[in-house]
Chain A
Amino acid sequence: MKMYLPPRGASKSRRGFLKKGLVGGLVLALGGGGWLLTRRSAQVVVPEGLQVLNATEYAVMWSLVQRFVPAREGFPSTEALKTALACDGILAMTEEVTRAEVKQLLMLFENALPNFLFGGRTSPFTQLDATEQEQVLAEWRDSRLTIRRTGYSALRGIAMAAYYGNPQSWPAVHYPGPLPGIHDPNAPVWKGGLEPRPVGNGTWIEPEVTP
């Protein structure tokens, strides 16, 4: 019988979800060339500690999180919470196949050619103003193509998790956070062996039978 286990250190093949659908493949193929590709992405300051995204991908993520969490009184800015960097941190914990898919998706958002074909715009996503970016997002969200709705949902989820998972966002949503004084960071971690099992809520004492 053939062994599944790959050789130690073997690299894994990548196959993004966008390549699977016919339309996705076509979009990617179109994205591979043409004069619109010469349109440059907006530059943003790349923070230290970026693990997965390159400068262009980070710029797209940076723009997206500002749309998914727009400036609003009472809500700390995505800049202050370093939400785009947190998105990169989330991606760093995912499998390589997921990271590859998201990177591919970010570039699809950015690429001017698909933006031109779907929305008639000739600028990359990062070069659009906020209103136009909102329109692009709405087009992805409401698209007749499932694959575009999927892409929108994926990026929205990452941005939301990165922002609302940050305790600094909680006052804005009046979430008090965990009740203090409950969690014990020094609670014993029992692993059996010679160590006696600590008595707690999980241990069981058979109730005495009432005669």
Chain B
Amino acid sequence: MSAGRIFTGDELTADQTLECDVCVIGSGAGGAWTAHQLVKQGKRVVLLEEGGYHTRREFDMTEARAFTNLYQELGNRATDDLSMTIIQGRSVGGGTTVNWCSSFRTPERILATWRDRFGVDTLTTEALTPHWDAIERRLHVAEWPLEAINANNKVLWDGLGALGYERALIRRNVNNCLNLGACGLGCPVDAKQSMLATVLPDAVELGLELYANVSARQLEWSGRRVTAVHAEVLDPVKNRPTGVRLTVKAKLTVVSGGAINSPGLLMRSGLDGDGRVGTRTWFHPVVATLAEMPFEVNAFAGAPQSVSSHHFLDRGADKVGFFLEVPPLQPMLGSIASGGTGAQVQDILSRLPSVNAMLALHVDGLLPDENGGTVRLKDGAMSKYSITYDFQPAHWEAFREACKEMAKLQFAAGAKRVLSLHANPVVMEKVEDIGKLDDAPWEPVRVRVLTAHQMGGCGMGKDPFTSVVDPHLKFHTLDNLFVVDGSVLPTALGVNPQETIFGIARWAAAHIGDAVG
């Protein structure tokens, strides 16, 4: 028997008002750990999640089902001009339900940057280490063995080895993993130690009341205090408001909706931080190349991400650094993300089993003149936002150089042919062709740019005139409102973000509990 309960939209048929110590909004990496730690402290916690409660019963490993149920805007979230596709989770467990399990602690140099540039002196390696230790134990975080990496990752591993570049195996949060390759589609055996499978049910056992299909629409506030959270119940199938409303009156509210939805909720509530909320959003913008290999790669099978290289992280003071990984390649995402006409897509996809895909993730937010992304409310929309990204020459230079390096790596691993993801793809048959990338158009909506890591938008900092939350994650102008998710990160990380957010949330829960009293 559990002290808590998970409610879904179909069960919520009448308006109700709930009273509790803490209302957490969002059940992803930040919200789950925060809620868990607070119920462990004995607090009464209500957690609202806009997405549905989708479990392994539904995880049939098909893209069509996964994108419909588990991703923001059915996987169609993007900047207004579609210059960047934004792949972001949306269900109980948030991004952790669909990410590729890569687990990294926050790099020391990033924490130092936050301290030096933004006055964030609270988040040190020393402060976070005990939390990371506990998190890694609970989530079974361990290095994926070299003998178990799939052929897609092996292309990257071999290419890096051949060129003498730095390479490493990735640590993953999995338990009894069957090496299926379906991490992005929802793990059908709960091997992925997502929040859905681990920390949230742990918290429900301890007393958490989790409401799925409930979209927080507004924070009501007066003076320096949030007095209520107003939410709408969504139909679990149609994903539209049923007309039923939920009101939560909590002593303290934690916003954990992620780097786009958290700013959205704050802006809808008139809490725009003098325009700063929703600005300086960082995406680790991704460019990719596809390679046809002379052997079977089957990039749709096996642990999706197990090798990385941070060789190009520091490219000089005025340049954007990048790190390298690979993605899984299933037909739907592969067709959308690839470049070219219909016939060109058929051509490359008909060779799908021998196609390797490689990613370069760019570390944005570290150059002084970068503005990153901006999130604004969109007229008439429910969960869609107006999103723009300020691409600068430094980004395009890095994208071009990253594609050149990836092509080199793919050829070094034996590629017969490498393609860029331009609308009109650059086709390279040999190493000497890599120079063609210099003549390709590097402009918005001419080359595919994606993101699977959303950060910033409610950046933390000591100065209330340049940040949204303080170094303890409290909203600067309210006393009982905290933001705990990827939106508080003042810059991108240079590593996959889930463990950073886990650590920050577990660390923050201690003083949030104190603030409740």
Contacts and interface: CB of A to CB of B under 8 A. Distances in A.
A26 interface: no
A15 B201 contact: no
B9 to A, nearest CB: 13
Contacts of A197: 2, 201, 205
Contact of B57 (A72, A187, A204): A187
B119 interface: no
Contacts of B511: none
Given A161-B336, A165-B63, A187-B56, A98 B205 contact: no
Interface in B194-239: 194, 196-198, 201-202, 204-205, 217-218, 220-222, 230, 232, 239
Contacts of A161: 64, 67, 75, 332, 335-336
Nearest to A152: B423
B381 A174 contact: no
A96 B150 CA distance: 41
Per DSSP, chain A at the interface is: loop
A4 B217 contact: yes
Interface stretch (B349-357, B400-408, B409-417): B349-357
B186 to A, nearest CB: 10
B336 A157 contact: yes
A201 B191 contact: yes
A210 interface: no
Given A164-B335, A182-B61, A189-B57, A70 B342 contact: yes
A38 interface: no
Given A93-B68, A97-B381, A183-B188, A173 B331 contact: yes
A153 B383 CA distance: 21
B5 interface: yes
Given A93-B68, A175-B352, A184-B188, A192 B346 contact: no
Interface stretch (A6-14, A42-50, A108-116, A117-125): A6-14
A107 interface: no
B204 to A, nearest CB: 4
Given A13-B379, A194-B1, A202 B197 contact: yes
B60 A185 contact: yes
Interface stretch (B98-106, B173-181, B277-285, B462-470): B173-181
A211 B364 CA distance: 48
A164 B201 contact: no
B76 A94 contact: yes
A98 B384 contact: yes
B85 to A, nearest CB: 8
Contacts of B352: 173-175
B243 interface: yes
A192 B350 contact: no
Given A5-B217, A94-B73, A191-B5, A153 B445 contact: yes
Contacts of B180: 178-179, 182
A171 B196 CA distance: 33
Contacts of A165: 62-64, 67, 331-332
Given A173-B349, A174-B353, A175-B352, A3 B379 contact: no
B4 interface: yes
A190 B342 CA distance: 44
B123 interface: no
Interface string A148-170: 01101110110011011111011
Contact of A201 (B59, B197, B243, B334): B197
Interface in A48-101: 67-70, 72, 74-75, 90, 93-98
A149 B67 CA distance: 24
Per DSSP, chain B at the interface is: loop
Q: Quick one: which of A1, A8, A67 has the most chain B CB within 10 A? A: A1
Given A70-B343, A183-B59, A202-B193, A1 B221 contact: yes
Contacts of B381: 12, 95, 97
B201 A70 contact: no
Which bracket fits the contact residues of B?
Answer: 35 or more
Contacts of B424: 141-142
A4 B330 contact: no
B190 A201 contact: yes
Contacts of B63: 165
B274 to A, nearest CB: 17
Contacts of A147: 81
A97 B64 contact: no
A179 to B, nearest CB: 6
A141 B340 CA distance: 10
Interface in B294-341: 300, 330-332, 334-336, 341
Contacts of A201: 175-176, 189-191, 193, 197
A208 to B, nearest CB: 13
Contacts of B176: 201
Contact of B268 (A4, A69, A194): A4
Given A4-B218, A166-B64, A183-B61, A142 B423 contact: yes
B270 interface: yes
B117 interface: no
10 contacts: A5-B217, A9-B243, A12-B380, A14-B380, A142-B423, A149-B423, A166-B64, A175-B300, A178-B180, A201-B175
Interface of B: 1-2, 4-8, 53, 55-57, 59-64, 67-68, 73-76, 80-83, 138, 175-176, 178, 180, 182, 188-191, 193-194, 196-198, 201-202, 204-205, 217-218, 220-222, 230, 232, 239, 243, 245, 268-270, 300, 330-332, 334-336, 341-343, 345-346, 349-353, 378-384, 423-424, 444-446
Given A70-B346, A165-B67, A204-B198, 13 more contacts: A5-B245, A90-B74, A95-B382, A95-B383, A157-B82, A161-B335, A170-B331, A174-B350, A184-B56, A190-B6, A192-B5, A193-B1, A201-B189
Interface of A: 1-5, 8-9, 12-15, 17, 20, 67-70, 72, 74-75, 90, 93-98, 134, 137-138, 141-142, 146-147, 149-150, 152-154, 156-157, 160-161, 163-167, 169-170, 172-175, 177-179, 182-197, 200-204
